[in-house]
A = this chain, B = another copy of it.
Amino acid sequence: MRWSDHVHVVLRAAGVRHGEARERVISLLDAQRCALSATEIETRLQDTGQPTGRASIYRVLELLADHGLLERVDVGDGQARYEPARPGGEHHHHHLVCEGCGALVAFDDPDLERAIGRVSRRLGVEVTGHEVLLRGACGRC
């Protein structure tokens, strides 16, 4: 099941109306392999002949994030990045940010996920999400 389909199901269930700007953002995110920032989204849409209001982009991102449809990735460069969050944690992963060129490298590791699960249980609080960021050098740097 495509992420965009999942999004539509969730949003319809939430009684949210249709909207062009939203479709453009959803479609772009769905086609992307890596996390995008609001600014990057704005530029891409501009460049592909579907200019979209900046405010709308931010509002769409907020809406999707509020419904758990987006994962937020913070690499600490002053802008938030977002990528599709699939149901059941499918394709769930984390990132290595290269300190040389800023590239984002995705990876996943079941062992790490288990460790996070254990510590979450140990802390005795309800943990709804997590984020792991490694800093280092990518293959080229």
Contact = CB atoms under 8 A, between A and B. Distances in A.
Interface of A: 72, 74, 76, 78, 80, 96, 99, 105, 107, 109, 111-112, 114-116, 118-120, 122-123, 125-139
Nearest to A79: B78
A109 B125 contact: no
A72 B134 CA distance: 12
A137 B80 CA distance: 22
B129 A136 contact: yes
17 contacts: A78-B80, A96-B127, A107-B123, A109-B115, A111-B118, A112-B115, A112-B119, A114-B115, A115-B116, A123-B134, A125-B138, A127-B135, A127-B136, A128-B135, A131-B135, A132-B133, A133-B133
Contact of A99 (B116, B122, B128): B128
Contact of A139 (B72, B125, B134): B125
Contacts of A96: 123, 125, 127
B136 A126 contact: yes
Given A72-B76, A76-B80, A80-B76, A125 B136 contact: yes
7 A-B pairs closest in CB distance: A115-B115, A127-B136, A129-B135, A109-B119, A131-B133, A74-B74, A112-B115
Contacts of A120: 134, 136
Contacts of A132: 116, 130-133
